[in-house]
């Protein structure tokens, strides 16, 4: 490899890399779409030119055919008039006109084939153009989605890097630990309390309250009826017969008589 070739290769690699870095695929695809759309009017103009040439040749053929027909009629007229000299002149012109007609017809055939070819090329170009434009649009949409996803990824990465996620988890764990500690302390406190002593204390308080109530009843003169009701309840529970009031008073009367007799 010569020095010049190596130098050109170095220059191409240097500027090629710089250009590749400067190129924006999105802008290039949009420019390609514009160029493809701009080529359609140019192609239509070329096709119109080919068609115009074909139309002109068709008109030339029609004129040549008319002239051939006219010269043929003149030759017939001259022959009928016994003017062979005039018929010969028209015959020479007729031969030239026929040759011209053949050339024009040949040109017309080429023009028609060119016009059909141009239409086929346009059809293929339009199909390829639509395909390229659709591919470019799909690529642009994917590029936009990729940019959107990149922005979301950057946001999530910043969220994690900033420590918010870690701080959140740490605070939640600390609260859970404190809750567990407090629940454990409550369980230990409940276990350390003597439940039997508390029950005895509650029973004692209830007895004291009952005594206070009985004292109030005694002061109010309700102690007898309350005692009788209590006695009836106890006898009912034990299945014993409770003597009536009269029967209970007889011993006292007897005791009184006995005291009198003794006196």
CB burial class (10 A; 0-12, 13-18, 19+) of residue 83?
middle
Report how far residue 167's alpha carbon sits from residue 160's, in angstroms, rounded to the nearest whole number: 10
Per-residue confidence (pLDDT) for residue 58, from 0 to 100 = 92
Which tens digits make up the pLDDT trace of 111-158? 999 899 988 888 888 888 888 888 888 888 887 888 888 877 777 666
Do residues 119 and 107 make contact, with C-beta atoms less than 8 angstroms apart?
no
Find where tokens 């802008």 sit.
Answer: 27
- pLDDT under 70 in the chain at which residues? 1-3, 6-7, 9-24, 156-166, 168, 189-198, 222-263
Per-residue confidence (pLDDT) for residue 143, from 0 to 100 = 78
Do residues 36 and 125 make contact, with C-beta atoms less than 8 angstroms apart?
no
Domains in the chain: boundaries: 12-166, 200-238
Per-residue confidence (pLDDT) for residue 186, from 0 to 100 = 73
Per-residue confidence (pLDDT) for residue 55, from 0 to 100 = 92
Kind and range of the H or E run holding 87: helix 84-161
Q: Which CA distances in Å does 40 have to 47, 49, 113, 135, 166?
A: 11, 14, 21, 18, 59
Phi and psi based region of residue 22 (left: phi greater than 0; alpha: psi -120 to 50; beta: remaining) = alpha
Per-residue confidence (pLDDT) for residue 195, from 0 to 100 = 62
Cα angle 32-36-37, degrees, rounded to a multiple of 5: 120
* Closest among 57, 56, 58, 65 to 94, alpha carbons compared: 65
* CATH value of 12-166 in 1.10.10, 2.60.40, 1.10.287, 3.40.50: 1.10.287
Per-residue confidence (pLDDT) for residue 228, from 0 to 100 = 57
For the CA atoms of 68, 69, 71, 72, the dihedral, rounded to the nearest 10 degrees, stands at: 110
Using the 8-state DSSP alphabet, how is residue 259 labeled? H
Per-residue confidence (pLDDT) for residue 42, from 0 to 100 = 86
């Amino acid at each position: 490899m010569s020095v010049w070739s190596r130098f050109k290769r170095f220059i191409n690699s240097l500027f090629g890399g710089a250009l590749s870095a400067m190129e924006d695929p999105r802008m290039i695809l949009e420019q390609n779409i514009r160029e493809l759309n701009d080529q359609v009017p140019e192609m239509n103009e070329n096709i119109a030119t080919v068609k115009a040439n074909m139309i002109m040749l068709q008109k030339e053929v029609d004129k040549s055919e008319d002239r051939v027909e006219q010269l043929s009629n003149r030759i017939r007229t001259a022959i009928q008039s016994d003017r062979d000299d005039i018929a010969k002149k028209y015959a020479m012109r007729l031969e030239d006109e026929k040759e011209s007609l053949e050339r024009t017809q040949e040109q017309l055939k080429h023009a028609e084939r060119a016009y059909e070819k141009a239409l086929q090329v346009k059809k293929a170009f339009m199909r390829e153009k639509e395909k390229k434009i659709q591919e470019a649009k799909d690529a642009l949409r994917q590029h936009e989605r990729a940019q959107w996803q990149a922005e979301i990824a950057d946001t999530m990465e910043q969220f994690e890097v900033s420590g918010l996620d870690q701080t959140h988890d740490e605070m939640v764990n600390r609260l859970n630990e404190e809750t567990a500690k407090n629940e454990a302390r409550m369980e230990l406190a409940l276990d350390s309390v003597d439940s039997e002593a508390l029950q005895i204390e509650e029973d004692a308080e209830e007895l004291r309250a009952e005594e206070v109530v009985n004292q109030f009843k005694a002061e109010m003169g309700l102690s007898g009826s309350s005692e009788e009701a209590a006695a009836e309840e106890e006898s009912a529970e034990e299945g014993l017969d409770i003597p009536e009031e009269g029967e209970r008073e007889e011993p006292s009367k007897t005791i009184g008589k006995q005291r009198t007799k003794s006196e």
